[in-house]
Amino acid sequence: MAREKKGRNANGRSSIYQSETDGGWHGWVTVGVKDNGKPDRRHVRGKDQDEVTRKVQELERSRDEGRVRKAGQRWTVESWLKHWLENIVAPPAITVNAYSAYDVAVRVHLIPGIGGHRLDKLQPEHLEKLYRKIMQQPTKMGPTTSAATAHQAHRTIRAALNVAVRRKHITSNPALEAKPPKVEEIDVEPYSVDQVKTLLMTALQQRNSARWAVALALGLRQGEALGLQWRDLDLEAGTLVVRRSRLRPKWKHGCTVPCGRKFGGHCPERVALRQETAPTKSRAGKRGIGLPDELIGLLKQHAAEQAQERLRAADLWQDTGYVFTTPTGAPLNPRSDWTEWKELLDAAGMRDARLHDARHTAATVLLLLGVPERTVMGIMGWSNTAMAARYQHVTAAIRRDVAERVGGLLWKPATTPKVDDEDGAAGVPIPAA
Protein backbone atom coordinates (compact mmCIF):
# COMPACT_ATOMS: atom_id res chain seq x y z
CA MET A 1 0.00 0.00 0.00
CA ALA A 2 1.28 3.45 -0.86
CA ARG A 3 2.53 5.53 2.03
CA GLU A 4 0.39 8.53 2.77
CA LYS A 5 2.35 11.77 2.74
CA LYS A 6 1.60 13.97 5.74
CA GLY A 7 3.51 17.02 4.47
CA ARG A 8 6.81 18.14 3.02
CA ASN A 9 10.11 17.54 4.81
CA ALA A 10 12.09 20.57 5.88
CA ASN A 11 14.53 21.96 3.30
CA GLY A 12 17.70 19.88 3.12
CA ARG A 13 16.18 16.85 4.83
CA SER A 14 16.36 13.46 3.13
CA SER A 15 13.10 11.85 2.09
CA ILE A 16 11.94 8.25 1.56
CA TYR A 17 8.63 7.29 -0.01
CA GLN A 18 6.82 4.63 -2.01
CA SER A 19 5.68 5.54 -5.49
CA GLU A 20 1.95 5.36 -6.15
CA THR A 21 2.57 4.56 -9.81
CA ASP A 22 5.10 1.72 -9.83
CA GLY A 23 5.06 0.70 -6.17
CA GLY A 24 8.86 1.09 -5.88
CA TRP A 25 10.61 2.80 -3.01
CA HIS A 26 12.57 6.01 -3.64
CA GLY A 27 14.88 8.24 -1.65
CA TRP A 28 16.25 11.73 -2.16
CA VAL A 29 19.31 13.19 -0.41
CA THR A 30 20.54 16.79 -0.58
CA VAL A 31 24.31 16.60 -1.01
CA GLY A 32 25.17 20.21 -1.82
CA VAL A 33 24.41 23.09 -4.16
CA LYS A 34 24.64 23.08 -7.95
CA ASP A 35 26.49 25.71 -9.96
CA ASN A 36 23.20 27.52 -10.58
CA GLY A 37 22.55 27.84 -6.84
CA LYS A 38 19.80 25.22 -6.62
CA PRO A 39 20.01 22.25 -4.21
CA ASP A 40 21.86 19.21 -5.54
CA ARG A 41 19.42 16.36 -4.79
CA ARG A 42 20.54 12.78 -5.50
CA HIS A 43 18.07 9.93 -6.10
CA VAL A 44 18.24 6.28 -4.99
CA ARG A 45 15.67 3.51 -5.35
CA GLY A 46 15.10 -0.06 -4.14
CA LYS A 47 12.60 -2.87 -3.88
CA ASP A 48 11.63 -2.14 -0.28
CA GLN A 49 11.90 0.55 2.36
CA ASP A 50 14.82 -1.09 4.19
CA GLU A 51 16.96 -1.18 1.06
CA VAL A 52 16.28 2.45 0.23
CA THR A 53 16.93 3.47 3.83
CA ARG A 54 20.38 1.83 3.70
CA LYS A 55 21.18 3.61 0.40
CA VAL A 56 20.05 6.96 1.77
CA GLN A 57 22.19 6.49 4.88
CA GLU A 58 25.23 5.53 2.76
CA LEU A 59 24.74 8.59 0.58
CA GLU A 60 24.42 10.80 3.65
CA ARG A 61 27.68 9.40 5.06
CA SER A 62 29.45 10.02 1.75
CA ARG A 63 28.12 13.58 1.74
CA ASP A 64 29.27 14.22 5.30
CA GLU A 65 32.75 12.80 4.51
CA GLY A 66 33.05 14.85 1.32
CA ARG A 67 33.09 11.82 -0.98
CA VAL A 68 30.15 12.69 -3.23
CA ARG A 69 31.00 13.49 -6.84
CA LYS A 70 30.19 17.07 -7.82
CA ALA A 71 27.14 17.56 -10.03
CA GLY A 72 27.62 18.91 -13.54
CA GLN A 73 29.68 17.85 -16.54
CA ARG A 74 30.39 14.14 -16.96
CA TRP A 75 34.09 14.30 -17.66
CA THR A 76 36.00 11.76 -19.69
CA VAL A 77 39.68 11.25 -18.95
CA GLU A 78 40.53 12.98 -22.23
CA SER A 79 38.34 16.04 -21.62
CA TRP A 80 39.60 16.43 -18.06
CA LEU A 81 43.28 16.11 -19.03
CA LYS A 82 42.86 18.74 -21.74
CA HIS A 83 41.06 21.07 -19.34
CA TRP A 84 43.73 20.49 -16.69
CA LEU A 85 46.55 21.27 -19.12
CA GLU A 86 44.97 24.30 -20.77
CA ASN A 87 43.38 25.99 -17.76
CA ILE A 88 44.90 24.74 -14.48
CA VAL A 89 48.63 24.04 -14.89
CA ALA A 90 49.43 26.17 -17.95
CA PRO A 91 52.39 28.54 -17.38
CA PRO A 92 52.99 30.63 -15.36
CA ALA A 93 51.30 28.26 -12.87
CA ILE A 94 54.25 25.89 -13.42
CA THR A 95 57.53 26.17 -15.30
CA VAL A 96 57.65 25.79 -19.06
CA ASN A 97 59.77 22.63 -18.83
CA ALA A 98 57.41 21.01 -16.31
CA TYR A 99 54.45 21.85 -18.54
CA SER A 100 56.20 20.35 -21.58
CA ALA A 101 56.73 17.08 -19.70
CA TYR A 102 53.05 16.97 -18.73
CA ASP A 103 51.99 17.81 -22.29
CA VAL A 104 54.03 14.98 -23.83
CA ALA A 105 52.70 12.43 -21.32
CA VAL A 106 49.10 13.51 -21.94
CA ARG A 107 49.30 13.79 -25.72
CA VAL A 108 51.48 10.78 -26.50
CA HIS A 109 50.47 8.25 -23.82
CA LEU A 110 47.49 9.08 -21.61
CA ILE A 111 44.85 10.26 -24.09
CA PRO A 112 45.56 7.50 -26.65
CA GLY A 113 45.70 4.89 -23.87
CA ILE A 114 42.86 5.74 -21.46
CA GLY A 115 41.24 8.91 -22.81
CA GLY A 116 37.91 7.25 -23.62
CA HIS A 117 37.11 6.23 -20.03
CA ARG A 118 34.67 8.24 -17.97
CA LEU A 119 36.63 10.02 -15.28
CA ASP A 120 34.58 8.54 -12.43
CA LYS A 121 34.88 5.02 -13.87
CA LEU A 122 38.67 4.94 -14.23
CA GLN A 123 40.22 2.07 -12.26
CA PRO A 124 43.78 1.37 -11.05
CA GLU A 125 43.88 -1.68 -13.33
CA HIS A 126 43.37 0.54 -16.38
CA LEU A 127 46.44 2.53 -15.41
CA GLU A 128 48.61 -0.50 -14.68
CA LYS A 129 47.78 -1.98 -18.09
CA LEU A 130 48.70 1.34 -19.68
CA TYR A 131 52.07 1.43 -17.91
CA ARG A 132 52.93 -2.05 -19.16
CA LYS A 133 51.86 -1.09 -22.68
CA ILE A 134 54.06 2.03 -22.62
CA MET A 135 57.09 0.00 -21.55
CA GLN A 136 56.54 -2.45 -24.42
CA GLN A 137 56.48 0.23 -27.12
CA PRO A 138 59.52 0.30 -29.46
CA THR A 139 61.51 3.54 -29.64
CA LYS A 140 64.24 5.10 -31.75
CA MET A 141 66.68 4.93 -28.83
CA GLY A 142 66.18 1.26 -28.01
CA PRO A 143 63.96 -1.82 -28.28
CA THR A 144 61.41 -0.61 -25.70
CA THR A 145 60.42 2.50 -23.80
CA SER A 146 62.10 2.95 -20.43
CA ALA A 147 60.33 2.64 -17.11
CA ALA A 148 61.03 6.35 -16.59
CA THR A 149 58.66 7.20 -19.46
CA ALA A 150 55.88 5.12 -17.93
CA HIS A 151 56.59 6.65 -14.54
CA GLN A 152 56.27 10.14 -16.04
CA ALA A 153 52.83 9.17 -17.35
CA HIS A 154 51.96 7.92 -13.85
CA ARG A 155 53.05 11.16 -12.18
CA THR A 156 51.08 13.19 -14.72
CA ILE A 157 47.77 11.33 -14.33
CA ARG A 158 48.23 11.30 -10.55
CA ALA A 159 48.65 15.08 -10.47
CA ALA A 160 45.66 15.65 -12.78
CA LEU A 161 43.38 13.35 -10.78
CA ASN A 162 44.44 14.92 -7.48
CA VAL A 163 42.94 18.17 -8.73
CA ALA A 164 39.78 16.34 -9.85
CA VAL A 165 39.39 14.89 -6.34
CA ARG A 166 39.86 18.27 -4.67
CA ARG A 167 37.19 19.72 -6.95
CA LYS A 168 34.89 16.78 -6.21
CA HIS A 169 34.60 15.61 -9.82
CA ILE A 170 35.63 12.18 -8.51
CA THR A 171 35.66 10.80 -4.98
CA SER A 172 39.07 9.09 -5.03
CA ASN A 173 42.24 9.02 -7.13
CA PRO A 174 42.82 5.61 -8.77
CA ALA A 175 46.42 6.59 -9.58
CA LEU A 176 47.20 6.44 -5.86
CA GLU A 177 46.18 2.78 -5.85
CA ALA A 178 47.86 1.83 -9.14
CA LYS A 179 51.36 0.37 -8.83
CA PRO A 180 53.77 2.38 -10.99
CA PRO A 181 56.83 0.81 -12.63
CA LYS A 182 60.01 0.88 -10.61
CA VAL A 183 62.60 3.28 -11.94
CA GLU A 184 66.18 2.21 -11.34
CA GLU A 185 68.36 5.02 -10.02
CA ILE A 186 71.18 5.83 -12.44
CA ASP A 187 74.52 4.97 -10.86
CA VAL A 188 76.61 8.07 -11.52
CA GLU A 189 80.39 7.83 -11.23
CA PRO A 190 81.74 11.41 -11.22
CA TYR A 191 85.02 12.22 -12.86
CA SER A 192 88.10 12.32 -10.65
CA VAL A 193 90.02 15.55 -10.03
CA ASP A 194 92.73 14.46 -12.49
CA GLN A 195 90.09 13.71 -15.13
CA VAL A 196 88.49 17.12 -14.58
CA LYS A 197 91.91 18.75 -15.11
CA THR A 198 92.30 16.79 -18.36
CA LEU A 199 88.88 17.93 -19.56
CA LEU A 200 89.67 21.56 -18.77
CA MET A 201 93.01 21.39 -20.60
CA THR A 202 91.36 19.79 -23.63
CA ALA A 203 88.57 22.39 -23.61
CA LEU A 204 91.15 25.16 -24.06
CA GLN A 205 91.61 23.94 -27.63
CA GLN A 206 87.91 24.43 -28.42
CA ARG A 207 85.63 27.41 -28.89
CA ASN A 208 83.66 28.53 -25.79
CA SER A 209 86.15 26.69 -23.56
CA ALA A 210 85.01 28.65 -20.49
CA ARG A 211 81.60 27.02 -20.90
CA TRP A 212 82.99 23.72 -19.61
CA ALA A 213 84.99 25.36 -16.83
CA VAL A 214 81.72 26.86 -15.55
CA ALA A 215 80.05 23.43 -15.68
CA LEU A 216 82.84 21.47 -13.99
CA ALA A 217 83.93 24.06 -11.41
CA LEU A 218 80.58 25.64 -10.48
CA GLY A 219 78.11 22.86 -11.26
CA LEU A 220 75.64 25.05 -13.15
CA ARG A 221 72.79 23.25 -14.87
CA GLN A 222 72.94 23.30 -18.67
CA GLY A 223 70.12 25.82 -18.96
CA GLU A 224 71.67 28.04 -16.27
CA ALA A 225 75.05 28.12 -18.02
CA LEU A 226 73.55 28.85 -21.44
CA GLY A 227 71.26 31.49 -19.92
CA LEU A 228 74.14 33.51 -18.43
CA GLN A 229 74.46 37.08 -19.68
CA TRP A 230 77.40 39.39 -19.21
CA ARG A 231 75.39 41.60 -16.87
CA ASP A 232 75.17 38.61 -14.50
CA LEU A 233 78.96 38.60 -14.05
CA ASP A 234 81.19 40.96 -12.09
CA LEU A 235 84.67 39.83 -13.01
CA GLU A 236 86.33 42.52 -10.92
CA ALA A 237 84.50 41.43 -7.77
CA GLY A 238 84.74 37.78 -8.81
CA THR A 239 81.02 36.96 -8.57
CA LEU A 240 78.32 35.47 -10.75
CA VAL A 241 74.54 35.56 -10.26
CA VAL A 242 72.27 32.84 -11.71
CA ARG A 243 68.98 34.46 -12.72
CA ARG A 244 67.49 32.48 -15.60
CA SER A 245 67.63 29.23 -17.56
CA ARG A 246 67.89 28.78 -21.32
CA LEU A 247 64.99 26.79 -22.76
CA ARG A 248 65.14 24.30 -25.59
CA PRO A 249 63.63 26.06 -28.64
CA LYS A 250 60.28 24.94 -30.04
CA TRP A 251 58.99 26.16 -33.39
CA LYS A 252 55.94 26.05 -35.62
CA HIS A 253 55.53 26.73 -39.33
CA GLY A 254 55.06 30.40 -40.16
CA CYS A 255 54.80 30.04 -43.91
CA THR A 256 51.56 31.02 -45.67
CA VAL A 257 52.44 28.79 -48.62
CA PRO A 258 53.61 25.31 -47.50
CA CYS A 259 57.41 25.27 -47.51
CA GLY A 260 57.64 21.49 -47.80
CA ARG A 261 59.66 21.10 -44.59
CA LYS A 262 58.41 18.50 -42.14
CA PHE A 263 59.44 20.20 -38.90
CA GLY A 264 58.57 23.73 -37.88
CA GLY A 265 62.17 24.38 -36.88
CA HIS A 266 63.27 23.91 -40.50
CA CYS A 267 60.70 26.35 -41.89
CA PRO A 268 62.29 29.51 -43.37
CA GLU A 269 59.54 31.58 -41.69
CA ARG A 270 59.39 29.62 -38.45
CA VAL A 271 57.66 31.07 -35.40
CA ALA A 272 58.89 30.51 -31.84
CA LEU A 273 56.46 28.71 -29.51
CA ARG A 274 58.31 29.57 -26.31
CA GLN A 275 60.60 32.24 -24.95
CA GLU A 276 64.38 31.92 -25.00
CA THR A 277 64.67 31.79 -21.21
CA ALA A 278 62.62 31.19 -18.08
CA PRO A 279 63.23 31.89 -14.37
CA THR A 280 65.39 29.43 -12.47
CA LYS A 281 64.05 26.01 -11.55
CA SER A 282 63.30 27.07 -7.96
CA ARG A 283 63.73 30.05 -5.65
CA ALA A 284 66.94 28.48 -4.40
CA GLY A 285 68.15 28.31 -8.01
CA LYS A 286 68.49 32.10 -8.12
CA ARG A 287 71.82 32.51 -6.36
CA GLY A 288 75.17 34.23 -6.27
CA ILE A 289 78.42 32.28 -6.66
CA GLY A 290 82.02 33.27 -6.05
CA LEU A 291 84.45 32.71 -8.94
CA PRO A 292 87.95 31.20 -8.55
CA ASP A 293 90.71 33.47 -9.86
CA GLU A 294 91.57 30.96 -12.57
CA LEU A 295 87.97 30.93 -13.83
CA ILE A 296 87.90 34.75 -13.81
CA GLY A 297 90.94 34.66 -16.08
CA LEU A 298 89.24 32.20 -18.45
CA LEU A 299 86.09 34.34 -18.61
CA LYS A 300 88.11 37.50 -19.37
CA GLN A 301 89.89 35.62 -22.14
CA HIS A 302 86.50 34.40 -23.39
CA ALA A 303 85.18 37.99 -23.47
CA ALA A 304 88.17 39.05 -25.58
CA GLU A 305 87.62 36.16 -28.00
CA GLN A 306 83.92 37.03 -28.29
CA ALA A 307 84.86 40.64 -29.12
CA GLN A 308 87.00 39.37 -32.00
CA GLU A 309 84.09 37.24 -33.25
CA ARG A 310 81.87 40.34 -33.14
CA LEU A 311 84.31 42.16 -35.45
CA ARG A 312 84.47 39.23 -37.86
CA ALA A 313 80.67 38.82 -37.97
CA ALA A 314 80.15 42.56 -38.65
CA ASP A 315 76.49 43.18 -39.58
CA LEU A 316 75.60 39.52 -38.94
CA TRP A 317 76.31 39.86 -35.21
CA GLN A 318 73.29 39.59 -32.91
CA ASP A 319 73.80 41.62 -29.75
CA THR A 320 71.99 39.25 -27.37
CA GLY A 321 74.22 39.78 -24.35
CA TYR A 322 74.73 36.06 -23.68
CA VAL A 323 78.09 34.86 -22.36
CA PHE A 324 78.15 31.73 -24.53
CA THR A 325 76.95 32.24 -28.10
CA THR A 326 77.23 31.08 -31.68
CA PRO A 327 79.88 32.76 -33.89
CA THR A 328 77.25 35.39 -34.79
CA GLY A 329 76.12 36.15 -31.22
CA ALA A 330 72.94 34.06 -31.08
CA PRO A 331 72.22 32.03 -27.90
CA LEU A 332 73.45 28.46 -27.99
CA ASN A 333 70.93 25.71 -28.64
CA PRO A 334 70.94 23.12 -25.79
CA ARG A 335 71.02 20.33 -28.38
CA SER A 336 74.18 21.74 -30.01
CA ASP A 337 75.68 22.24 -26.56
CA TRP A 338 75.09 18.56 -25.77
CA THR A 339 76.85 17.57 -29.00
CA GLU A 340 79.87 19.73 -28.14
CA TRP A 341 80.07 18.06 -24.71
CA LYS A 342 80.25 14.64 -26.35
CA GLU A 343 82.94 15.90 -28.72
CA LEU A 344 84.95 17.20 -25.73
CA LEU A 345 84.79 13.81 -24.00
CA ASP A 346 85.95 12.09 -27.17
CA ALA A 347 88.82 14.54 -27.69
CA ALA A 348 89.94 14.09 -24.06
CA GLY A 349 89.75 10.29 -24.29
CA MET A 350 87.20 10.12 -21.46
CA ARG A 351 84.46 7.58 -20.87
CA ASP A 352 81.00 8.61 -22.02
CA ALA A 353 78.85 10.50 -19.53
CA ARG A 354 75.76 12.67 -19.51
CA LEU A 355 76.20 16.43 -19.63
CA HIS A 356 74.35 16.60 -16.29
CA ASP A 357 77.06 14.39 -14.78
CA ALA A 358 79.34 17.45 -14.84
CA ARG A 359 77.05 18.85 -12.14
CA HIS A 360 77.49 15.67 -10.07
CA THR A 361 81.25 16.04 -10.49
CA ALA A 362 81.22 19.64 -9.25
CA ALA A 363 79.16 18.67 -6.19
CA THR A 364 81.57 15.85 -5.38
CA VAL A 365 84.58 18.20 -5.65
CA LEU A 366 82.93 20.36 -2.98
CA LEU A 367 82.57 17.22 -0.84
CA LEU A 368 86.27 16.46 -1.30
CA LEU A 369 87.11 19.99 -0.17
CA GLY A 370 85.03 19.54 2.98
CA VAL A 371 82.73 22.50 2.20
CA PRO A 372 79.82 22.66 4.72
CA GLU A 373 76.55 21.22 3.43
CA ARG A 374 74.60 24.49 3.80
CA THR A 375 77.22 26.29 1.71
CA VAL A 376 77.13 23.55 -0.93
CA MET A 377 73.33 23.90 -1.12
CA GLY A 378 73.71 27.62 -1.81
CA ILE A 379 76.32 27.09 -4.52
CA MET A 380 74.42 24.29 -6.26
CA GLY A 381 71.00 25.91 -5.96
CA TRP A 382 69.37 23.11 -3.95
CA SER A 383 66.23 23.75 -1.93
CA ASN A 384 66.59 20.74 0.42
CA THR A 385 69.31 18.60 1.94
CA ALA A 386 68.09 15.45 0.18
CA MET A 387 69.69 16.74 -3.02
CA ALA A 388 73.12 16.61 -1.41
CA ALA A 389 72.84 12.85 -0.94
CA ARG A 390 71.74 12.48 -4.55
CA TYR A 391 74.50 14.56 -6.14
CA GLN A 392 77.52 14.12 -3.88
CA HIS A 393 79.22 10.79 -4.47
CA VAL A 394 81.70 8.89 -2.33
CA THR A 395 84.60 8.49 -4.74
CA ALA A 396 87.43 5.96 -4.62
CA ALA A 397 89.71 8.61 -3.08
CA ILE A 398 87.24 9.26 -0.26
CA ARG A 399 86.73 5.54 0.35
CA ARG A 400 90.52 5.04 0.52
CA ASP A 401 90.90 7.90 3.00
CA VAL A 402 88.21 6.40 5.25
CA ALA A 403 89.87 2.98 5.02
CA GLU A 404 93.23 4.43 6.11
CA ARG A 405 91.61 6.17 9.08
CA VAL A 406 89.89 2.94 10.17
CA GLY A 407 93.15 1.02 9.78
CA GLY A 408 95.06 3.58 11.80
CA LEU A 409 92.51 3.41 14.59
CA LEU A 410 92.22 -0.38 14.84
CA TRP A 411 95.68 -1.66 13.94
CA LYS A 412 98.15 1.09 14.77
CA PRO A 413 100.37 -0.12 17.69
CA ALA A 414 99.22 1.48 20.92
CA THR A 415 101.66 2.72 23.62
CA THR A 416 101.57 0.40 26.68
CA PRO A 417 100.58 2.42 29.77
CA LYS A 418 102.97 2.10 32.76
CA VAL A 419 102.62 2.48 36.57
CA ASP A 420 105.00 2.69 39.53
CA ASP A 421 105.85 -0.54 41.47
CA GLU A 422 105.46 -0.96 45.21
CA ASP A 423 109.06 0.17 45.89
CA GLY A 424 108.52 3.40 43.97
CA ALA A 425 110.31 2.23 40.83
CA ALA A 426 108.67 3.70 37.77
CA GLY A 427 108.09 2.11 34.45
CA VAL A 428 106.55 -1.26 35.32
CA PRO A 429 104.18 -2.28 32.52
CA ILE A 430 100.61 -3.20 33.38
CA PRO A 431 100.16 -6.94 32.87
CA ALA A 432 98.02 -7.80 29.92
CA ALA A 433 94.55 -9.08 30.80
Which active-site residues does the annotation give? Answer: 221, 252, 356, 359, 382, 391
DSSP states of 298-330: HHHHHHHHHHHHHHHHGGG-----BSSB-TTSP
Burial of 358 (0-12, 13-18, 19+ CB in 10 A): buried
Region at 370 (left for phi over 0; alpha for psi -120 to 50; beta for the rest) = left
The SS3 assignment for 153 reads helix
Centroid of chain to Cα 393: 21
Centroid of chain to Cα 282: 11
Element (H, E) at 341: helix 334-348
Give CA–CA dist 88/357, Å, rounded: 34
Phi and psi at residue 229, to the nearest 5°: -120, 155
Count of alpha carbons within 13 angstroms of residue 262, beta-carbon side: 0
The SS3 assignment for 53 reads helix
Contact between residue 239 and residue 289 where contact means Cβ atoms under 8 Å apart = yes
Give CA–CA dist 371/366, Å, rounded: 6
Give CA–CA dist 240/304, Å, rounded: 18
Q: Which residues contact 208 (CB under 8 A, 6 or more apart)?
A: 302, 324, 332, 340
Estimate the share of the chain in helix, then strand, then coil, as percent rounded to the nearest 5: 45, 10, 40
Q: Which residues contact 388 (CB under 8 A, 6 or more apart)?
A: 363, 373, 376, 377, 382
